Amino acid sequence: MKNTLLLVASFGLLVSQGFGYNTVTTNIATADATAVPILDNTGAAIAVGAGYVAVGTFSAAPSATTAVADIRSTFTAFGAGATAFSNGVGAPGFFDQKFGASIPQGNADAPVGEQAYVLIGDGATLAASLHFAILSTGGVFGTEDQFGNGELGQVFSAENIDSSLIYGTPMADVDTGLGLVFTNGVKLGEGGLVIPEPSTALLSLVGLGFLARRRR
Amino acid sequence: MNSLKAAAAFGLSALVVSSAAAQTASKPVGYETVAINQQFNTFGLRLLGAPNVTSTVGAVAGTTVTLDAAPSADGSYIVEVNDNALAGAVVTGTSTGADVVLSEDLSAGLAVGDSITLRATQTLASVFGTESTLTGAASEGAADLVSVPDGSGGFSTYWYFSGSFGGAGKGWRESGQVAGTIDPALVTLVYTDGMVVTNRGADNSLVITGSVKTAPTTLGLTTQFNYVSSVYPAGSTLDNSGLQSQLTAAASEGAADLVSLPDGAGGFSTYWHFSGGFGGAGAGWRESGQVAGTIDAALVDLTSGMIVTNRGDAQNADIVAPSFYADL
């Protein structure tokens, strides 16, 4: 009986020692002009403690014209972590966020293998945000190693912002009042224009034609 | 924090005394007691095998290095480069006379005349005992595990088989092995590696004896998580380790390399080097989550084992001994 209890205790105690699976993302690797400030739709840098930053997956790959409603409905945020803008230099427009959860080695369930996106909004939550930016370096979610460590980093700078910006307006020569001009910035967008279905457009034309005929 | 300083001072004292007693040793020697608490323990070897010979390179051809002086016996050694381009490099090697076949081809950087030290290897047997000082069991699931980095991002894991009925066939096994045993004297533990001991029994401890290295050491870092040793057994801190100039500093934690030290309670204390705000102001070490100010890195003692999270490409990072080691 003693041996049995010891075995049970052993297996019961063997939880992961590691850091879990973390996604880390920042737009200020270096405090110089290569950092990429995030601006709201008015062009003002999003204040520390405001805004929304999350890392997660989309059920349908987003594009530059994805509608706001689709952004909200197809995004799944990963892990636990603070979503308001926070950074180590205390400057507006910059985030340095970490989101963690457990993805044990061998797990193949979502989001494992899916592309990770950084979703940025101007509200305190996803639902409260009206304007967005979507960034991705193309990295995909993996799993922890045998000791419970896993990480996916997404660092955005002037070097990679052009290839990473999926949604939002790219800006150049951005001055946020910090005494230097940033090479690049990103302004949150309102989403793509809603393109009417062909049948809807056709019906409109038919309706207009009908009205025109009656006037005659 | 005073207790940490006191502990460091005691360690230094012990080293000096041991050094004086070991008149024939070319380096100071000492011992270190490593706590092996329940569950996971990250630690590194900081008291090393004794130096056998320090010589200059007479010739280099691929992985074979011919020394100007042969070691006292043929066999396996830890090979340290002491100066010039590859100063600090640590590899393993097998000697036959003055010829040493290295585990890696250093010929691109190693030159005739460079100084090399051959140091006795430490093995699973020499550190943990031919009959393990850790908890053995008849099944892997109940035994303590020793996990050693395999050099490719994974680990090789070993456990002590306590024998079948009547104790027959006991000995060290590799993870997954269900028959026979391995020779633990053939499993080399390189002192730059951090190891993980999974303790499935009660709290335990391990006394490691050996020689103290005083010269710089190069840690080879792969991308992401690296289990490494802090190499120097007493007085080594985040501040005097030299890691500040070797690891990637950044303005944000998410872009910086991290140094994680076991906190003794099953978790880690993690640090990163803040490269400063706009204009470089305020640079220094920060603790994970810290968004303002810096810590006094001289008060952060390095644990024997560390995890370095390397956010960039694979790189080498030199770690140095505290300056007072020059007097040992």
What are the phi and psi torsion angles at A183 (to 5°)?
Answer: -60, -40
A40 pLDDT above the threshold of 90: yes
B285 pLDDT above the threshold of 80: yes
Contact A146 B274 (CB under 8 A): no
The verdict on residue A8 lying in a domain is: no
Sheet with strand A169-175: strands edge to edge: A38-39, A181-187, A169-175
Which 3 state secondary structure label does DSSP give A114? coil
CA gap B196, B39 in Å, rounded? 10
Nearest to A150 by CA among A84, A96, A85, A79: A79
The verdict on residue A13 lying in a domain is: no
Q: Are A142 and A152 in contact (CB under 8 A)?
A: yes
Strands (E), B82-134: 90-96, 99-102, 115-120, 122-123
What is the model's pLDDT at position B14?
A: 42
DSSP H or E segment with residue B210:
strand B204-211
What is the model's pLDDT at position B39?
A: 85
Q: Are B46 and B209 in contact (CB under 8 A)?
A: no
Looking at residues B23-31, what average pLDDT do you find? 64
Residues 232-271 of B with CB under 8 A from A: 250-255, 260, 266, 268
Alpha-carbon dihedral B34, B35, B41, B42, rounded to 10 degrees:
-30
Higher pLDDT, B279 or B15: B279
Place of tokens 């011992």: B31
Q: Over the stretch A169-197, which tens digit does the pLDDT of each residue have?
A: 999 999 999 999 999 999 999 755 444 44
Higher pLDDT, B11 or A150: A150
Rg of the Cα atoms in chain A:
23
Looking at residues B309-321, what average pLDDT do you find? 95
First and final CA of chain A: distance in angstroms? 99
Nearest to B175 by CA among B150, B204, B208, B152: B150
Looking at residues B162-166, what average pLDDT do you find? 89
Give yes or no for B153 touching A (CB within 8 A): yes
Per the prediction, chain B carries an average pLDDT of 90
B17 pLDDT above the threshold of 70: no
Report residue B22's pLDDT band, with 50, 70 and 90 as the boundaries: very low
Residues pairing with B119 in the sheet: B51, B78
Place of tokens 């004297």: B185
Contacts of B292 in chain A (CB under 8 A): 88, 90
Rounded to the nearest angstrom, the minimum Cα separation between B252 and chain A is 6
Q: Are A161 and A25 in contact (CB under 8 A)?
A: no
A214 pLDDT above the threshold of 50: no
Report residue B327's pLDDT band, with 50, 70 and 90 as the boundaries: confident
Report residue A35's pLDDT band, with 50, 70 and 90 as the boundaries: very high
What is the model's pLDDT at position B323?
A: 95
Per the prediction, chain A carries an average pLDDT of 85
Which 3 state secondary structure label does DSSP give B174? strand
Q: Are B249 and B284 in contact (CB under 8 A)?
A: no
Residue B251 has its nearest CB partner, among A11, A15, A28, at: A28
The verdict on residue A125 lying in a domain is: yes
CA gap A97, A209 in Å, rounded? 55
Report percent pLDDT > 90 for chain B: 83
Q: How many domains are there within chain A?
A: 1
Contact B39 A7 (CB under 8 A): no
What is the model's pLDDT at position B18?
A: 37
Distance of CA A21 to the CA centre of its chain: 17
The verdict on residue A46 lying in a domain is: yes
Rounded to the nearest angstrom, the minimum Cα separation between A157 and chain B is 11
CA gap A71, A67 in Å, rounded? 6
Cα angle B115, B118, B119 (rounded to 5 degrees) comes to 135
Contact B291 A15 (CB under 8 A): no
The verdict on residue A11 lying in a domain is: no
A211 pLDDT above the threshold of 90: no
Beta-sheet pairing, A20-26 with A149-155: parallel
Residue A10 has its nearest CB partner, among B142, B266, B277, at: B142
CA gap B183, B160 in Å, rounded? 11
Q: Over the stretch A104-117, which tens digit does the pLDDT of each residue have?
A: 999 999 999 999 99
Looking at residues A123-132, what average pLDDT do you find? 97
What is the model's pLDDT at position A38?
A: 98
Contact A87 B252 (CB under 8 A): yes
Higher pLDDT, A7 or A127: A127
What is the model's pLDDT at position A16?
A: 52
A12 pLDDT above the threshold of 80: no
Higher pLDDT, B97 or A211: B97
Higher pLDDT, A179 or B201: A179
A204 pLDDT above the threshold of 80: no
Report residue B152's pLDDT band, with 50, 70 and 90 as the boundaries: confident
Residue from A89, A118, A146, A174 whose CB has the most chain B CBs within 10 Å, to mutate: A89
CA gap B66, A130 in Å, rounded? 70
Q: Are B63 and B102 in contact (CB under 8 A)?
A: yes
Q: Are B173 and B181 in contact (CB under 8 A)?
A: yes
Contacts of B224 in chain A (CB under 8 A): 149, 151
* Long-range pairs for B268-272: beta carbons < 8 A, 24 or more residues apart: B268/A19, B268/B307, B269/B300, B271/B238, B271/B295, B271/B297, B271/B300
Q: Are A144 and A102 in contact (CB under 8 A)?
A: yes
What is the model's pLDDT at position B153?
A: 78
Residue from B278, B295, B303, B306 whose CB has the most chain A CBs within 10 Å, to mutate: B278
Lowest mean pLDDT among A4-8, A22-26, B257-261: A4-8
What is the model's pLDDT at position A191?
A: 59
Residue B253 has its nearest CB partner, among A90, A96, A146, at: A96
Report percent pLDDT > 90 for chain A: 74
Amino acid symbol at A69: A
CA gap B237, B324 in Å, rounded? 13
A41 pLDDT above the threshold of 60: yes
| DSSP code string of A33-99 | TTS--EE-TTSPBPPTT-SEEEEEEESS---TT--HHHHHHHEEE-SB---S---TT--TT--EEEE
Nearest CA in chain A to B267: A17
Where do the structural domains in chain B lie, given as residue ranges? Answer: 51-120, 217-327
Which 3 state secondary structure label does DSSP give B196? strand
What is the model's pLDDT at position A199?
A: 45
The token pair that represents A97 in the structure block:
């966020």
Residue B254 has its nearest CB partner, among A13, A24, A91, at: A24
The verdict on residue A24 lying in a domain is: yes
Contacts of A178 in chain B (CB under 8 A): 278
Cα angle B63, B193, B88 (rounded to 5 degrees) comes to 55
Looking at residues B72-83, what average pLDDT do you find? 98
Contact B225 A13 (CB under 8 A): no
Give yes or no for B108 touching A (CB within 8 A): no
Host domain of residue A66 = 18-215
Distance of CA A55 to the CA centre of its chain: 5
What is the model's pLDDT at position B166?
A: 83
Interface of A to B at Cβ within 8 Å reads 6-7, 10-11, 13-15, 17, 19, 24-26, 28-32, 35, 86-91, 94, 96-98, 145-147, 149, 151, 153, 155, 178-180
Q: What is the DSSP letter of A104?
A: -
Global pTM value: 0.83
Contact A24 B286 (CB under 8 A): no
Amino acid symbol at A160: N
Report residue A17's pLDDT band, with 50, 70 and 90 as the boundaries: low
Q: What CATH number has the domain spanning B51-120?
A: 2.40.30
CA gap B160, B176 in Å, rounded? 12
Q: Is the ipTM of this complex over 0.90?
A: no
Contacts of A116 in chain B (CB under 8 A): none
CA gap B45, B12 in Å, rounded? 17
Contacts of B275 in chain A (CB under 8 A): 30-31
CA gap B39, B60 in Å, rounded? 45
Q: Other C-beta atoms within 10 Å of A83: how many?
A: 20
Which 3 state secondary structure label does DSSP give B298? helix
Amino acid symbol at A163: S
